[in-house]
Structure 1
């Protein structure tokens, strides 16, 4: 009988510079000792082992990765490159699937919203073929899955809000104990003064204003608020910025404008057809419960506003095969 050949895997040498490569991922786990799993999004520096971002949500989602990268950029700086799996949040499933004829004709695959935000920050994205390729963050999950449930139980933490408040400081405690010194200088780039990171880590879509200067998005009509900037004329192409931290803003010629809902006149017989099932379908999130968020959506049922946001940021997405 032939002896089975086992292929050995070797740990890749750490990068020389902190900020040269950040590994990112999310893991579902029963963090609170119940049967309910929540997704912890994390980012770890390849050179030092520093945990540069941790954020927990109900599912692996775009918002979780945005918040994780927000922590990284504000606390450490902008990394040179990111190493992730091939989840559709990071990489379009059409990537590498174009035919020769499509490539010759100049057709390209659009970036995902996360990929577009990384491109704006100047961050290169590298995609792993196997979980073993990003072993550093896979080993981090093993460590945190044994430690965090104990930490949460000791403090009576059993909600996402409380967990994220705890994780904000826990990252630094973890790094003091487990991180190592890099071989060379840091490649993290500090955020430039004047850049609003929330206007980069957001969803962006192009729209065009109508004759009244309003625009439509997801079946809703919005009006741009004039804050002393030149007013946006009719039939102008604008960038719509969506982020749970500020709601909806508009970018035009390098200027950012706030928006409010614009309600078109309706017949008296018109109704919203709001069902109890629709109202209760979304669990409120910490940031969305703020008074600022309610003011932004003052003209619409609050729960429906959450449903609208949920579909954009929090809906569970399928991984690419």
Structure 2
């Protein structure tokens, strides 16, 4: 008997014994007078046991069958281990045709002594920043290394970008480590599918900024500008405002995305039988589309802030390595210990010893960037140097005889001169 039921018994006994009225008993139990009269009738018919709830000890009619509970626990330990309760409930409905709530899944697992693999810890609270009003006003970009394939492959990094207003993952790619190529591919994916965003939020990794961007007072007075990294130059060329966060909490949208992906993508990749980073990149677009369907939200304003990419803009040429070279005779230049020249003749005249910009794309294509135009380059052979004519063998020096006058000392010569007047 519960404490509440024992309280009912005591109050009803006092009312029957004449120590309390029906109104006082109703006030003590928080019930109506009519309910008190019914409790008295039950007590008179069956005693204190009649006040116990009739379903006590009975199995609810809507309770889950033991076979389903056993199957849920078995599938978790064999296949879906590591997933959280919410994700596990979704996987059961998708793959096993078992529809359960996350709370039901939690009760089943706890009843079997199975705790959630990843325990949540309380983190320091930060004031949340409001989402942008329109899609395309701001993207947040980042990368995180993780054991995405568990023990089936080494740790590698996932690069991703998320729209701040809608929570849509605009691009994602796996790479061996955090690198400029990974970020460039993510930006290309998002721009080709949605358009150019107005701003981009990133951390202060040297991929995004030059380590020499801090200018001295003399440089500022001389009018010099901060040097940009290769990625920063691409953002400037596309007209995207690049903001570099000082703390991870400033770009909390993409930071929270990694927690979701580490909970869900690992399980999804396991279920798909992915064992290599190449296979992971092939199935990643499908998983990103599934994520966006489930977690994307509507922006505050329906109008989009995306800017359409111009037809004359080649993203392969924008996201490239850029370096300065000096032209040699015959429009040749040196790059990577090799000599290159123009693949096709050009109408404009290029002066020898002039400084030009050379760009190397992610695919390894080499171009000469001149006046906003890409001129393809091709490898050529180094001009052979004219060898100097080989000189004749030198004549060996003449060795004078032992009685040669040069071998005599000056005193000997003086004595000989005096004796021969």
TM-score bucket (shorter structure): 0.7 to 0.9
**Does the 8 Å CA contact 2:148/2:266 hold for their aligned counterparts?**
yes
1:38 aligns with 2:146: no
Counterparts of 1:15 and 1:26, CA distance in 2: 22
Offset at residue 176 of structure 1 (A):
1.4
Show the counterpart of 2:319: 201
Counterparts of 2:305 and 2:156, CA distance in 1: 32
Map residues 100-119 of structure 1 onto 2, 5 A cutoff: 100-119=217-236
Counterparts of 1:266 and 1:159, CA distance in 2: 47
Offset at residue 197 of structure 1 (A):
1.1
**Does the 8 Å CA contact 1:229/1:255 hold for their aligned counterparts?**
no
**Alignment deviations for residues 232-273 of structure 1 (CA, whole Å, 9 cap, x no partner):** 634244321111225211122333222222222679xxxxxx
1:147 to 256, 264, 271: 264
Map residues 7-86 of structure 1 onto 2, 5 A cutoff: 8-34=125-151, 36-86=154-204
Which of the two has greater helix per residue?
2
How many equivalent residue pairs? 260
Which of the two has greater strand per residue?
1
Counterparts of 2:323 and 2:211, CA distance in 1: 20
Q: TM-score, normalised by structure 2?
A: 0.58
Show the counterpart of 1:136: 253
> 3-state SS of the aligned residue for 2:162?
strand
1:159 aligns with 2:269: no
> 3-state SS of the aligned residue for 1:125?
strand
**Does the 8 Å CA contact 2:319/2:362 hold for their aligned counterparts?**
no
> 3-state SS of the aligned residue for 1:116?
helix
1:127 to 244, 266, 273: 244
Counterparts of 1:40 and 1:170, CA distance in 2: 13
Show the counterpart of 1:177: 294
> What's the RMSD between the two structures over aligned residues?
2.0
**Alignment deviations for residues 256-310 of structure 1 (CA, whole Å, 9 cap, x no partner):** 222222222679xxxxxxxxxxxxxxxxxxxxxxxxxxxxxxxxxxxxxxxxxxx
Q: 1:32 to 1:233 in 2, by over 3 A?
A: same
Counterparts of 2:178 and 2:326, CA distance in 1: 32
1:264 aligns with 2:264: no
Counterparts of 2:220 and 2:375, CA distance in 1: 38
**Alignment deviations for residues 33-58 of structure 1 (CA, whole Å, 9 cap, x no partner):** 12621111110000000000101111
> 3-state SS of the aligned residue for 2:150?
coil
Map residues 218-237 of structure 1 onto 2, 5 A cutoff: 218-226=336-344, 229-230=346-347, 233-235=350-352, 236-237=354-355
**Alignment deviations for residues 126-166 of structure 1 (CA, whole Å, 9 cap, x no partner):** 11111111111011000111111222222222222221121
Counterparts of 1:140 and 1:29, CA distance in 2: 13
**Alignment deviations for residues 54-75 of structure 1 (CA, whole Å, 9 cap, x no partner):** 0111110000000000001101
Q: Which runs of 5+ in 2 are unaligned?
A: 1-122, 386-421
Offset at residue 212 of structure 1 (A):
1.8
Show the counterpart of 2:212: 94
> 3-state SS of the aligned residue for 1:77?
coil
Q: Which runs of 5+ in 1 are unaligned?
A: 1-5, 268-321
**Alignment deviations for residues 105-136 of structure 1 (CA, whole Å, 9 cap, x no partner):** 33332111100000000000111111111111
> 3-state SS of the aligned residue for 1:78?
coil
Counterparts of 2:355 and 2:383, CA distance in 1: 25
Offset at residue 7 of structure 1 (A):
7.2
Q: TM-score, normalised by structure 1?
A: 0.76
**Alignment deviations for residues 3-42 of structure 1 (CA, whole Å, 9 cap, x no partner):** xxx9741211111011111000000001111262111111
Offset at residue 94 of structure 1 (A):
2.8
Counterparts of 2:383 and 2:149, CA distance in 1: 48
- Larger-gyration structure (1/2): 2
Q: 1:162 to 1:7 in 2, by over 3 A?
A: closer
1:253 aligns with 2:368: no
Offset at residue 103 of structure 1 (A):
1.7
